[in-house]
């Protein structure tokens, strides 16, 4: 297939493009800066530029859409422009050139309304009830994508949960940086059970979704390793793999949520140069259970994770030693 991968400068997008190249597909990547994936061709531009999007999708049979504004803070309009309007622009361009398969990469946060998720499947995306600008706009984008599904364009939404691995500049890098600075607490006792997914497994799931789209289209699937662990254990494992001290102090989750609200208010007036140290959404994610039933995902995609969490942590440690 002739595949367009958006957002290939990110860890998961790059790994997905690499997997597609290795499988023999003709791969073009689209993002604001060169991805440099061996064997793929870069097309540079932004989802907010319809002409650049039209050029990127020209001549493609399939799209794997990962590009998004990912942050726990920032003006809502910026999230809307990239995550919602950008997805709309891409879908329109894809349909105009006859793209037949479209894998939309979403997030389990689109169905999270503040409570624990315990053994759930992929609940409905709810923009009005999701928490935070990222989750709300990703929910709206997922609904747009699935609404475009029909006999001519097979759309499948995939929601990887807490993707991590070597080279991760989001989850892993921020955990390690804050741990080394002594600014990484556990909320309550770090006992909330959470799922995550190692990056290679997530990329394999996206490739499987592209292959299965004609049969599996029109639905949303959550992708995880299927190995839920206490969030404190997962964070400690990442810290130890990177040679950083695990969290040594605790904060009540209720207090963290209040503090997160105050930080958000300050950030809205005087934003810092980095992500805020805490937000209400982040406090919720660190103190409520998030683990998912993977049976349907594995059945529909014909996929199973090849790398366990322990093997992933060993690979992460090797990366940091290198």
Using alpha carbons, select from 196, 204, 182, 178 the residue that is nearest to residue 18: 204
Q: Based on the number of CB atoms within 10 Å of its own CB, is 206 exposed (0-12), middle (13-18) or buried (19 or more)? A: buried
Indicate if 198 belongs to the active site. Answer: no
- Rounded to whole angstroms, how far apart are CA atoms 177 and 102? 36
Closest to 146 (Cα-Cα) out of 129, 113, 124:
124
Active-site pick, 134, 164, 198, 292: 134
Please give the Cα distance from 134 to 107 (Å, whole number). 9
* CA distances (Å), origin 264, targets 186, 254, 260: 20, 16, 6
H or E element in which residue 193 lies: strand 193-194
Instruction: Find residue 194's DSSP bridge partners.
Output: 229, 290
Q: What is the DSSP secondary structure assignment for residue 293, as one 8-state letter?
A: -
Q: How far apart are CA 313 and CA 164, in angstroms?
A: 10
Active site positions, annotated:
134
């Amino acid at each position: 297939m002739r595949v367009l991968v958006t957002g290939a400068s990110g860890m998961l997008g790059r790994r997905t493009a690499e997997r597609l190249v290795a499988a023999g597909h003709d791969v073009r990547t689209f993002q604001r800066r060169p991805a440099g994936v061996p064997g793929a061709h870069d097309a540079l531009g932004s989802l907010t530029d319809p002409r650049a999007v039209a050029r990127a999708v020209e001549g493609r049979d399939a799209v794997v859409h990962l590009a998004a504004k990912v942050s726990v803070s920032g003006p809502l309009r910026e999230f809307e422009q990239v995550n919602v309007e950008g997805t709309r622009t891409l879908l329109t361009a894809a349909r105009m050139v006859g793209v037949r398969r479209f894998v939309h990469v979403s997030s389990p946060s689109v169905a999270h309304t503040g409570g624990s998720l315990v053994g759930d499947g992929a609940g409905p995306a709810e923009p009005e009830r999701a928490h935070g600008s990222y989750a709300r706009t990703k929910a709206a984008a997922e609904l747009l994508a699935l609404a475009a599904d029909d006999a001519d364009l097979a759309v499948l939404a995939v929601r990887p949960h807490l993707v991590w691995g070597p080279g991760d500049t989001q989850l892993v890098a921020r955990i390690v940086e804050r741990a080394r600075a002594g600014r990484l607490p556990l909320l309550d006792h770090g006992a909330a059970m959470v799922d995550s997914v190692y990056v290679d497994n997530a990329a394999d799931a996206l490739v499987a979704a592209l292959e299965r789209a004609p049969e599996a289209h029109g639905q949303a699937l959550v992708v995880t390793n299927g190995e839920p662990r206490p969030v404190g254990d997962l964070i400690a494992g990442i810290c130890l793999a990177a040679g950083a001290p695990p969290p040594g102090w605790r904060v009540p989750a209720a207090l963290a949520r209040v503090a997160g609200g105050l930080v958000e208010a300050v950030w809205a007036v005087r934003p810092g140069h980095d992500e805020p140290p805490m937000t209400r959404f982040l406090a919720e994610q660190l103190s409520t259970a998030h683990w998912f039933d993977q049976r349907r995902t594995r059945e529909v995609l014909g996929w199973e994770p090849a790398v366990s969490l322990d093997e992933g942590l060993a690979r992460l440690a090797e990366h940091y030693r290198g």
